[in-house]
Amino acid sequence: MTHPPSLKRRVLTLALAGMALIWVGTVIVTYFDAREELNEVLDAHLTQAAALLIAQTAHDIEEIEIEHARPLHKYSQRVAFQIWEAGQLRLHSANAPATPLASREQGFSDSTVEGQRWRVFSSRDASGKVLIHVAELAEVRDKLAREVAKNLLYPLLVALPLFAILLWLAVGRGLRPLASLTREVASREPDNLAPLPVGAAPAEVLPLIDRLNRLFERIAASIQNERRFTADAAHELRTPVAAIKAQAQVARGAQDTTERTHALDSVILGCDRAAHLIEQLLTLARLDSLQKSALESCELQTLAVEVIAEMTPLARQKNVQLELAEGETATVQALPGLLRILLRNLIDNAVRYSPAGTQVQVRVDRENSQPRISVSDNGPGIPVEERDKVPERFYRPLGTGEQGSGLGLSIVQRIAAIHGATLQLAAGEAGRGLRVTLLFPSGDTSSEHRRLE
């Protein structure tokens, strides 16, 4: 089981570990420092003791009656001396071994005699006959240094838990704004997207609140958009359903076959229309929730040929001539499936609003290296002042008698935006009809796997 990393625990661990590390470092340095100082002081004591012994022997070695000196202090057990004369051990302390304490005859040396480590100072008297070894157990020095270090460590053992408690409280207090933020967010109703109160939030938490508030804003806008779309969609479906119901009731009450057939045909037409509207709504909804996906290289001319072939039966049915004008080849980075939907919608619109016997022309070419595809018709066109409104959802041009879903250009607009292309509406050839142009960004075609924004 893994816990998410706790900020409090991390701060605490880091601070305590850092503190312990520094303290232990201090102890180690102090330990070595103390040892060195001790060495010097005690070495000095050794030389002093040796000097005293030499002075003593010079006067009257025989007068020293006791064979070995009595221990006068607890540490004196650790200090030993030997006085040698002509290879004979003349005098030594009780704790001194029988063998010489050092092989050296002058100065400091470290030796191990009978399993004990000694620090020895050796010296001869002025006559040179008497050799004196004054020694101290090395263990004493180590022990002293350790004592010093230990005395430093004890406060740490007390201070560390104390410090930990203080730190725990301080961090907890410092994180209180986060905790209250958490409570505030946790207790929210899912539809409450009001900004979080900035209040007395500290500088570290402010950016978080700020970002959260901005996120709430975006989500609110998106939900608003979705709600409006759902409402629009439901509203738009009411009319076709009303038409179907009304026509069905007319059919039921019809007096003669002609009237009934006409009404029933209208019912079927109404169903087709509602189905088309639903399909377009679904397309639009899918486009709205489209996630990032990879673009592919897409040859517009080829794509146009495919879609024109697909749409020709509809055009023939309306006696409209659908053709691909001579143009250039142009490759764009696109989602071919979406481009096909786009082109299908443009051609469908053009054919739908074209009078019988006229032409709908699709052309692929470039404008200043920008690939473009355009569809022109000879229909009624759209007045300049209304052109901005066309891509709005559920806009239908007036007086055409045609029953589109009002969504075609919304879909086209959305797909264009996905591709970074711009949609232009203008009058068609010779100022008649409508020409819808889709202008793609001048693609650098090398980046085959460019990803969508």
Partner 1 sequence: MRVLAVEDDALLGDAIQAGLKQAGFAVDWVKDGVAAQHALQAEPYAAVVLDLGLPRLSGLDVLQHLRARRDATPVLILTARDTVEDRIKGLDAGADDYLIKPFDMGELAARLRALVRRASGETAPVLCNGALALDPASHRITYLDQAIELSAKEFAVLQALMLNLDRVLTRTQIEAQLYAWGDEIESNTVEVHIHHLRRKLAPELIQTVRGVGYLMPRAQAD
**Residue recorded with tokens 């080829």:** 302
Nearer to partner 1 (CB atom), residue 5 or residue 401 = 401
The distance of closest approach from Cβ of residue 347 to partner 1 in the complex, given in angstroms and rounded to an integer, is 22
Nearer to partner 1 (CB atom), residue 248 or residue 285 = 248
- In one letter, which amino acid is 444? D
Contacts 24+ apart (CB under 8 A), 311-319: 311/344, 311/347, 311/348, 311/351, 314/348, 314/351, 315/347, 315/351, 315/360, 318/351, 318/352, 318/354, 318/356, 319/356, 319/357
Rounded to 5 degrees, what angle do the CA atoms 373, 377, 378 make? Answer: 155
What is residue 257's three-state secondary structure? helix
Round to whole Å and give the CA distance between 49 and 55: 10
Nearer to partner 1 (CB atom), residue 187 or residue 255 = 255
**Residue recorded with tokens 């180690």:** 28
Round to whole Å and give the CA distance between 36 and 2: 49
The distance of closest approach from Cβ of residue 370 to partner 1 in the complex, given in angstroms and rounded to an integer, is 35
Nearer to partner 1 (CB atom), residue 116 or residue 266 = 266
The distance of closest approach from Cβ of residue 247 to partner 1 in the complex, given in angstroms and rounded to an integer, is 4
Round to whole Å and give the CA distance between 307 and 293: 23
Q: In what order do the strands lie in the sheet with 116-124?
A: 88-92, 79-85, 130-137, 116-124, 107-113
Contact 322, 354 (CB under 8 A): no
Contact 122, 106 (CB under 8 A): yes
Round to whole Å and give the CA distance between 82 and 100: 7
Nearer to partner 1 (CB atom), residue 16 or residue 251 = 251
The distance of closest approach from Cβ of residue 409 to partner 1 in the complex, given in angstroms and rounded to an integer, is 16
Nearer to partner 1 (CB atom), residue 112 or residue 255 = 255
The distance of closest approach from Cβ of residue 271 to partner 1 in the complex, given in angstroms and rounded to an integer, is 10
Nearer to partner 1 (CB atom), residue 135 or residue 263 = 263
Q: Report the 10 Å Cβ neighbour count for 22.
A: 11
Nearer to partner 1 (CB atom), residue 36 or residue 386 = 386
Q: Which two tokens stand for residue 311?
A: 């749409």
The distance of closest approach from Cβ of residue 273 to partner 1 in the complex, given in angstroms and rounded to an integer, is 7
Nearer to partner 1 (CB atom), residue 273 or residue 387 = 273
Residues 6+ apart with CB under 8 A from 138: 110, 117, 118, 119
The distance of closest approach from Cβ of residue 446 to partner 1 in the complex, given in angstroms and rounded to an integer, is 49
Q: For binding to partner 1 (CB under 8 A), which residues are involved?
A: 235-236, 238-247, 249-250, 253-255, 259, 262-263, 266, 269-270, 273, 396, 398-399, 401, 403
**CA torsion 294→392→245→279, rounded to 10°?**
-10
The distance of closest approach from Cβ of residue 264 to partner 1 in the complex, given in angstroms and rounded to an integer, is 12
The distance of closest approach from Cβ of residue 417 to partner 1 in the complex, given in angstroms and rounded to an integer, is 26
